[in-house]
Structure formats: structure tokens, C-alpha cells
Amino acid sequence: MDKMSTTHKWSIKNCPKDIESQVLSVIGLIDKKGSASDMDLCKIFGEVLWSDGKYFNSHAFRFLFDHETLSCEVTKRCLH
């Protein structure tokens, strides 16, 4: 999904359809609370996610939620 979220005015790049609703839930939480924690993302995605200080990571994806530019970028993680 490469589109502008009209509800939250965030730009969302490279988001697979199967996780789109979870990404929108995270954006809604950030809009509401101003931030999202590792635990918040674990609850939303139903799996372990962790932050490396810049990105949130899952076993399959890396998420960058940029509060300043209101953009989210999703990339697939390369696991060797």
C-alpha cells in the first residue's frame, strides 16, 4: 500500500495488505497518545516486536514510524 491515510494524514509506504489494519492501528495509537511502545505493537500485531532505537522489528518486517514527517515505511527483513 502506497497511499496517504486520509484518517490520520500519514503517508504509508510499502505496506502489505495483510498487515495494513495493524499498521493503521499503530498510527491511530500514535495520533492518540503521541507514541507507541514495544508492548503496544506486540498487542496490536499479536507477536513479539522490538525496537532497535529507530525501527520496530518483527520476525518478517521492519517498521519506521516518523512522527515529524507523519510517514510510515514498512520493509521486509532479510533473514539468512
pLDDT in tens, 53-75: 999 999 999 999 998 999 999 99
Considering Cα of 2, then 67, then 40, then 55, what sign does the dihedral take?
A: positive
In whole angstroms, what is the distance from residue 53 CA to residue 3 CA? 26
- H or E segment to which residue 61 belongs: strand 61-66
The span from the first CA to the last CA of the chain, in angstroms, equals 26
5 three-state secondary structure: strand
* Average pLDDT for the chain: 89
pTM score: 0.84
The average pLDDT across 36-40 equals 95
Whether the per-residue pLDDT at 2 is higher than 70: the answer is no
List the domain boundaries for the chain. 11-76
9-24: per-residue pLDDT in tens?
A: 899 999 999 999 999 9
